[in-house]
Amino acid sequence: IRRPLILAIESSCDETAAALVDGNGALLADVVASQVDFHARFGGVVPEIASRKHIEAICGVCDECFDVAATTLAVPKLTWEDLDAVAVTYAPGLVGALVVGVAFAKGAAWAADKPFIGVHHLEGHLYANKIGAPDFAPPAVVSLVSGGNTLLVHVKDWGDYETLGATIDDAVGEAFDKVAKALGLGYPGGPAISRHAKEGDPDAIAFPRAMMHSGDLRFSLSGLKTAVVTYLNNERAAGREVDVADVCASFQQAVVDVQVKKARMALEQTGAPTFCLGGGVAANPALRDAYQALCEQMGVRLVLPPFSACGDNAGMIALVALDRYRQGRFFGLDADAQAHANL
Ligand code: KG4
């Protein structure tokens, strides 16, 4: 066994996850229990349900994580006593959901007398790029796009981040979810929209590209969502049939155009040689293709997290925790969950 062995827990939204990393940065186990089916019938994540489901799932997820890691290492059993540290996502996210993971991890660290490490969720999404590309290293620009966040960050070094711009209203994933809801495509909306978009014409409907020419790196998504809803209402009122594929493709193209434009600006502004992505929306094929084209054109290295590591997972949290352990940067047991925290 290559030490340190660290177990990391993630519970910031609607995924209860645990992962075990070794001193080589190898993920010996990476377990995710998704609650998405419980939230789907409400059309979005219900915070109270998320908290309760985390409580139900967390012990089982950690047990499974130990079992999988024991099998990977070909040892009979692994327990909390075998660890060198316990890590957890402490911010940002739904505070009731975060509290479950934080309280559980602190309890486990205290009982087993192990150091406790708090990890920022968005730093986890950045580190997810290491899962597919172990040689990935700063300096870089990262685009973090999920259901709750949309920002561009200059990664000057590991742990040295400058936020270049963020959304002033909705997150990109939120826009996908709201548009999907308006189209009756269910929750989560991103995967459904990208599936339908493949069959549609991205130039069929001219939806707005907000902040395209703002000259800064901020985003705005709520106007685009309203434009789609207004279009749907007008078409329905006029008795015209809506082409769902065309709406999806045109909406997605409006998102991609602004994302790519701002990514180009961020790369020009920072001179960073590498661009990478993180968060649930990083799984969007059209966005990935557009960044591929941009980076080829600019001579910039593109690093993408594997599809399986775009959504919330604890593997990415474990990789951050490994760096913190090596730096000796631990949290006290008085640390708390936080809904908001700067990267
Ligand atoms: O990072 P994540 O799992 O957690 C939250 O921040 O909630 O991201 C989930 C978000 C959802 O809004 C979902 O619709 C979006 O990521 N998403 C996508 C795709 N897959 C997931 N958005 C666009 N295209 C996709 N293929």
For a ligand 1 pocket test, name from 13, 16, 150, 176 the mutation site with the most ligand atoms within 8 angstroms of its C-beta.
176
Q: Any known ligand binding at 125?
A: yes
Whether ligand 1 lies within 6 angstroms of the CB of 35 is answered as no
Tens of pLDDT, residues 43-83: 899 999 999 999 999 999 999 999 999 999 999 999 999 99
Reply yes or no: is the peptide bond before residue 139 cis, omega within 30 of 0: yes
Q: How far is 143 from 266, CA to CA, in rounded Å?
A: 10
Check whether residue 119 and residue 188 sit in a common domain.
no
Indicate whether 333 belongs to any domain.
no
Closest ligand 1 atom to residue 148 Cα is 6
Check whether residue 304 and residue 170 sit in a common domain.
yes
Indicate whether 1 belongs to any domain.
no
- Looking at this predicted complex, what is its ipTM? 0.96
Q: Any known ligand binding at 284?
A: yes
Q: Any known ligand binding at 311?
A: no
Closest ligand 1 atom to residue 279 Cα is 1
- Supply the pLDDT for residue 101: 98
Indicate whether 318 belongs to any domain.
yes
Q: Any known ligand binding at 101?
A: no
C-alpha of residue 145 to centroid of ligand 1, in Å: 8
Q: How far is 161 from 142, CA to CA, in rounded Å?
A: 10
Q: Say how many C-beta atoms besides its own lie within 10 A of residue 311's C-beta.
A: 26
Q: How far is 218 from 58, CA to CA, in rounded Å?
A: 37
Indicate whether 335 belongs to any domain.
no
Whether ligand 1 lies within 6 angstroms of the CB of 312 is answered as yes
C-alpha of residue 238 to centroid of ligand 1, in Å: 33
Indicate whether 201 belongs to any domain.
yes
Tens of pLDDT, residues 272-329: 999 999 999 999 999 999 999 999 999 999 999 999 999 999 999 999 999 999 999 9
C-alpha of residue 122 to centroid of ligand 1, in Å: 14
Check whether residue 23 and residue 142 sit in a common domain.
no
Check whether residue 159 and residue 259 sit in a common domain.
yes
Tens of pLDDT, residues 283-297: 999 999 999 999 999
Burial tier of 302 (Cβ tally within 10 Å: 0-12, 13-18, 19+): middle
Q: How far is 38 from 13, CA to CA, in rounded Å?
A: 13
Check whether residue 217 and residue 86 sit in a common domain.
no
Indicate whether 339 belongs to any domain.
no
Indicate whether 208 belongs to any domain.
yes
Q: Any known ligand binding at 312?
A: yes
SS3 track for the chain: CCCCCEEEEECCCCEEEEEEECCCCCEEEEEEEECHHHHHCCCCCCHHHHHHHHHHHHHHHHHHHHHHHHHHHCCCCCCHHHCCEEEEEEECCCHHHHHHHHHHHHHHHHHHCCCEEEEEHHHHHHHCHHHHCCCCCCCEEEEEECCCCEEEEEEEECCEEEEEEEECCCCHHHHHHHHHHHCCCCCCHHHHHHHHHCCCCCCCCCCCCCCCCCCCCCECCHHHHHHHHHHHHHHHHCCCCCCHHHHHHHHHHHHHHHHHHHHHHHHHHHCCCEEEEECHHHHCHHHHHHHHHHHHHHCCEEECCCHHHCCCCCHHHHHHHHHHHHHCCCECCCCCCCCCCCC
C-alpha of residue 88 to centroid of ligand 1, in Å: 21
Q: Any known ligand binding at 177?
A: yes
| Number of folded domains that form the chain | 2
Check whether residue 274 and residue 144 sit in a common domain.
yes
Check whether residue 118 and residue 151 sit in a common domain.
no
For a ligand 1 pocket test, name from 16, 146, 277, 310 the mutation site with the most ligand atoms within 8 angstroms of its C-beta.
146
Closest ligand 1 atom to residue 14 Cα is 7
Indicate whether 337 belongs to any domain.
no
Whether ligand 1 lies within 6 angstroms of the CB of 284 is answered as yes
pLDDT class of 96 with cuts at 50, 70, 90 = very high
- Supply the pLDDT for residue 184: 95
Check whether residue 95 and residue 199 sit in a common domain.
no
Check whether residue 163 and residue 238 sit in a common domain.
yes
Q: 89: domain CATH number?
A: 3.30.420.40
Q: Which domain holds residue 23?
A: 6-128+313-327
Q: What percent of the chain has pLDDT over 90?
A: 99
Whether ligand 1 lies within 6 angstroms of the CB of 189 is answered as yes
Tens of pLDDT, residues 190-245: 999 999 999 999 999 999 999 999 999 999 999 999 999 999 999 999 999 999 99
Check whether residue 299 and residue 209 sit in a common domain.
yes
C-alpha of residue 190 to centroid of ligand 1, in Å: 6
- Supply the pLDDT for residue 337: 98
Check whether residue 252 and residue 318 sit in a common domain.
no
Q: How far from 314 is each of 89, 103, 309, CA to CA, in Å?
A: 8, 16, 9
Check whether residue 283 and residue 181 sit in a common domain.
yes
